[in-house]
Amino acid sequence: MTIRMPPTEAAEAGDTRWLLTFADLVALILSFFVMLYATQKVEQGEWQAMVKSLSQSLKVTPQSETAPNAARNARPFDPHRASDLSYLETLIDGVRGRDPALAGMVIRNLEDRLVVALPGDLLFASGRAEPMPGATQRIAALANLLGNISNRVDLFGHTDPTPMSGRNFESNWELSLARAESVAAMMRAAGYDRPLGAFGVSDTRSADLSGVASGARRLQLARRVDIVIRTRREPRR
């Protein structure tokens, strides 16, 4: 059965009653999409790409504040350029420049890898693998930098050809491995959380020091731990 409104009542109501229901519906839909957006995680990379695209389309010139010129300010780190070993070499050289104790550290760029040689006397007493005072802080400074990149990192312990005469280790092989593992433990303690290889090579790499002129310096570097940074990347654990 159809109920018809009297003509006078329909005229008074007009055709506007549906607007109230429609306005409520639109408000509910807007609230739903606002809540939906609020629960989403905005991908920073995609957001920056969109901002860059809009800036180019609208020809917006970005404004930046003048950076302080204090000498102690750290150089900005760009993790996307870390696979460029020359760029990474510059950053590690900056770490060396800020700590006088690391002045004896040697950095070699071998195209497919970067080798950071830490003389043993910066880290360990003769014939020992326990860190000396200050060694943990020196390793932490490097670990904090390397922890921001995804390059593969390995550690190689070295010794000089002098046979072991103490009771701590049976041979230079055990000593070199123990020192590499000790540096790995210090890096872990500093927060480094990527795969990290530790190897002992005893005195088998002494030929790598043929270019070192001083005999005393050659002997000092023979007892070292190499941090080898490769171009390939490693995921976090």
Measure the CA–CA gap between 152 and 83, rounded to whole angstroms: 10
CB-side exposure of 149: number of CA atoms within 13 Å? 26
Low-confidence stretches of the chain (pLDDT < 50) are 1-3, 10-11, 60, 62-77, 79-81
Angle at which helices 85-98 and 135-146 pack, to 10 degrees?
Answer: 150
Q: Which two tokens stand for residue 156?
A: 């190689």
The model's pLDDT over 125-152, given as tens digits with 9 standing for 90+, comes to 988 899 999 999 999 999 999 998 888 9
Residue found by looking up tokens 């922890």 in the block? 147
The model's pLDDT over 71-93, given as tens digits with 9 standing for 90+, comes to 334 444 454 445 678 888 999 99
Strand partners, 233: 151
Residue found by looking up tokens 């210090």 in the block? 186
* Helical (H) or strand (E) element with 145: helix 135-146
Q: What is the pTM of this model?
A: 0.62
Tell which CATH classification among 3.30.1330.60, 3.20.20.210, 3.90.1520.10, 1.10.357.10 matches the domain 79-233.
Answer: 3.30.1330.60
Locate the domains of the chain by residue range: 17-59, 79-233
